[in-house]
Amino acid sequence: MKTSGLVHLYCGDGKGKTTAAVGLAVRHAGHGGKVVFAQFLKDGSSGECRVLAKLGVTVLAANPAGKFTFRMTDEEKAETAAALVRTFDAAAGYAVREGATLLVLDEVCAAVNGGFLPEKTVTDFLENRPDMLEVVLTGRSPSAGLTAHADYITEMQKRRHPYEKGVAAREGIEF
C-alpha cells in the first residue's frame, strides 16, 4: 500500500474543514515540508493565510467578486471561474515545479460543485501528481469523482452552530 502522497478529503457541513487543513499545513511545514495552500472562493486575507505565509507556506487565493456565489451576477461568475482555473493551475504547477510535498486545495469542492472549476481538471491532476505530493481537498458535498480519489475522508458534522442564533462569523474564530 502507498504510504506517502495520499489524498485527504475534509468535508461536511460542520466547522473545521479549513482549520484541519491549516493544522496539517503547519505540522508539515514544521517538519521542513514545502507547502502550497490554495484557497478557492476566498480572498486570502484570513488570519490563517497570514500566519501560513509567515511560516514560509506559499498561499494563493481567488475570489475576484469578493462575495458568496449566490450573490454573483453571471458576469461575476464567469470572471470567478476564470480566476479559479488560473489559481488551480498556478497552485498545482508551482507545487510540481518547486517540489512541494503538501498541496492544500481549500474549498475546491465548492469550486467544482459551483461549476467554477472542472472536476476533470482536479481529478486528472490527482491521477498524475508526483508520487510524494500529499494533497488535501476541503469543502461541502464533495463530488463522486473527488471522493473516489481520497485516501482519507473526514467529515465534519454540524450539530449546533451559533449562526443558527444569529451570531455572525467572528474574526479570529470563523475567519
Distance of CA 56 to the CA centre of its chain: 18
Using one digit for the tens of pLDDT, what is the confidence trace for 91-109? 999 999 999 999 999 999 9
How many Cα atoms are found within 13 Å in the side-chain-facing hemisphere of 30?
A: 7
Residue 126, CA distances (Å) to 30, 73, 92, 104, 166 in order: 25, 31, 10, 12, 39
Above 90 in pLDDT, residue 11?
yes
Using one digit for the tens of pLDDT, what is the confidence trace for 53-62? 999 999 999 9
Give me the domains of the chain, ranges plus CATH numbers: 7-165 (3.40.50.300)
pLDDT at 175: 81
pLDDT at 76: 95
pLDDT at 2: 79
The percentage of the chain sitting over the pLDDT mark of 90, rounded to a whole number, equals 87
Distance of CA 28 to the CA centre of its chain: 16
Q: What is the mean pLDDT of the chain?
A: 95
pTM of the model: 0.94
Above 80 in pLDDT, residue 37?
yes
Confidence of residue 123 (pLDDT cuts 50, 70, 90): very high
Other CB atoms within a 10 A radius of the CB of residue 38 amount to 26
**Lowest mean per-residue pLDDT among 10-14, 79-83, 171-175:** 171-175
Rounded mean pLDDT of 48-75? 94
pLDDT at 31: 97
pLDDT at 4: 85
